Structure 1
Amino acid sequence: MKLAAELKALEARIGHGFARPELLARAVTHSSMSSPTRKDNQRLEFLGDRVLGLVMAEALLANDKSATEGQLAPRFNALVRKEACADVAREIGLGEALKLGRSEMLSGGRRKQALLGDAMEAVIAAVYLDAGFEVARDMILRLWGDRIGRVEADARDPKTSLQEWAQARGMPPPVYSEVKRAGPDHAPEFTIAVELQNGDRAEAVAGSKRQAEQAAAKALLERLPASG
């Protein structure tokens, strides 16, 4: 009963009422809760990633008719990467509706970037299968909102930006180190630190080393002066 209420609330937040609510139930089911009678969201995640990619490619082409492929590619990557999907998932409270196994629940699975990003892609696929591409596209464009318009400012890779910041000041490249690894093998959680030669340092936690490194670089960049 509680799950049904959570899914109804999620429908309202994404702006789509499902003709086949079992699709949404599957989209929020993590692999830690799968069973022979309960399918998880991994196959939907695969499909949703492709639907999202097509929508964003169309939107970027329409948004800037003079952009080259080299300009479009980083913007596209910024809009479809797991971090962006997880941000949207947090805005719609998707974590509250996730069906997780006990170990994932205890390790804070509802807040994990990888789980949220995967589930967001699965929800996109569920809407696509339930109502078709146009409805899925409308939902994506509504949920991503002004991210598409401001993507050029967000498209730069944080690790690259941090390295350029250091080099412009005569420093060697930033050093990344693994502080801690936690969680089960199927859903690890990495704590990564990044440090500059001058001692400035930041840490971040994510479901992969790459994501944690990017998040740590972004956190450090936000604290650094733009010049000087």
Structure 2
Amino acid sequence: MKVALIDYDSGNLHSAHKAFELMGREAGAQIVVTADPAIAARADRIVLPGDGAFPACRAALGEVDGMAEALRDAVLTRGVPFMGICVGMQMLATTGHEYRETAGLDWIGGDVVAIDAPDLKVPHMGWNELVIDNPHPVLAGIAPGDHAYFVHSWQFRVADPAHLLAHADYGGAVTAVVGRDNIVGTQFHPEKSQAVGLRLISNFLNWTP
């Protein structure tokens, strides 16, 4: 099994690569960091990380010639399992509203909006408990109250509640995990979330949608 970790100069690739390689050994997976659409197109799993602002990440992905098209064909047409991390998850949305309105991939309907927590510090940074909204294979073995590591000021509000898999409480519900069909995304960083994050990565590598 080959897992493509997409490199478009907008992700924390070192930590993510290390975590996926660790869990990939158990799953017999080869983890490949790539900016080549042809390699992404042939992968058995695709992971899209992302750090920074939504418009910058979306533009950077679009600047990798042929990558957006390769991802769309693999994920939407052929059903290749896909995971987005942090802004990589946010880009699944229809529209992002950070700085300016920016079109997302629109693979899961919804909008990326500012966290509304006037009595709390934003960005939402650090460990927070997960609340499971809809059971899913990638959350197997992860219990309500388990902690994950977040760093973000914006959140993905899904249009369909069935696509919200988990949230955290930070001045109200803040989206933590989204998913539909062969697509999942985590707002938190699984590669920084210790046992919970490694379990989620392992679940993804062994998931058959």
TM range (shorter): under 0.3
Bigger Rg, structure 1 or 2: 1
Higher strand share: 2
Higher helix share: 1
- Under a length normalisation based on structure 1, what TM-score does the superposition of the two structures give? 0.24
- Under a length normalisation based on structure 2, what TM-score does the superposition of the two structures give? 0.25
